[in-house]
Amino acid sequence: MKTIKIGTRKSKLAMWQAQYVESLLREKGYLCEIVGITTLGDKIDKPLYDFGGKGLFTSALEEAILSKTIDIAVHSVKDLSVSLSDELPLKFTLKRDFSNDCLVSFKGDIEKLPLMATIGTTSLRRRVELKYIRNDFVFVDFRGNLDTRLEKLKNGTVDAIVVSKSGLFRLSLYDSAYCFDLDIVSAAGQGVIGIQTRLDEFDELSFLNDQTTKLCVDIEREFVKSLNASCNFPIGAYAYFDENGEFCLKTMYADPKTFKKIDCFRRAKPKQALRECIEYTKAQILLI
């Protein structure tokens, strides 16, 4: 049997995700090899929106797939551009674990933080959402892997950081004593591991797909794509099925300069909910 070469970034979280995919493949009898790749996004310490966006983390992996250095690339879906090459689709999406963000602070939850607390995050979406909760926060650009950001927090560089709950759990770093769930709209695809590969290969790995997650992620990414937005814009989308099995879509969009925010929520069939959130958001943008 051919060995499947699994490409990934070299961070602890990325490696964990690749190893998890490897374990699923090995359970089915596949031979695997993990190939760590350094991307341009790993080499810079400035906000992504200053350097071209999410493609910084994925272009090297995509080049490796095309050159057949690797067979599949394992990504955090939220880090993937919503516009992918037809030759390199997001072919499989694993089941989502946690979609939400966490505020991590040793000084308490969001209400207990001191006045003018410093929050480490480069995410424009997170900054907008937090400003609507407390407008006194001071934001500090914070790049680096999850463990690096946590170390900076421990050193007192900032009062708090905001990170994905799924990342904390995957690395066994979540602790309810200092990790506090936030009720804000997450990034499209947050909490989902995705597999990118060549269009006409590896269809036999479809057992990795979780159809419910795929539907939700496709809707989330389509919302972002429809507004021609990227990490240069504060934008989020979260799709899910409620306890009654009804499809729900939450979205947010904000002006990147004024931070004026547009929220939308729809409970309807997936395509209808998507269409209504797009139409409502575009109409409101004209009024900002």
Sheet with strand 72-76: strands edge to edge = 31-36, 3-8, 72-76, 193-197, 90-93
Contact by Cβ (8 Å): 239, 257: no
- Catalytically active residues are 79
**Nearest CA among 31, 82, 34, 87 for reference residue 63:** 87
Q: Could you tell me the CA-to-CA distances from 223 to 37, 157, 227, 269, 278 in Å, in that order?
A: 30, 35, 7, 15, 6
Residue with tokens 């997170």: 126
> Pairing relation of β-strands 3-8 and 72-76?
parallel
Closest CA to 265 of 275, 245, 254, 251: 251
Is the backbone of residue 206 left (phi > 0), alpha (psi -120 to 50) or beta? alpha
8 Å CB contact between 74 and 6: yes
Alpha carbon distance 120, 187 (integer Å): 17
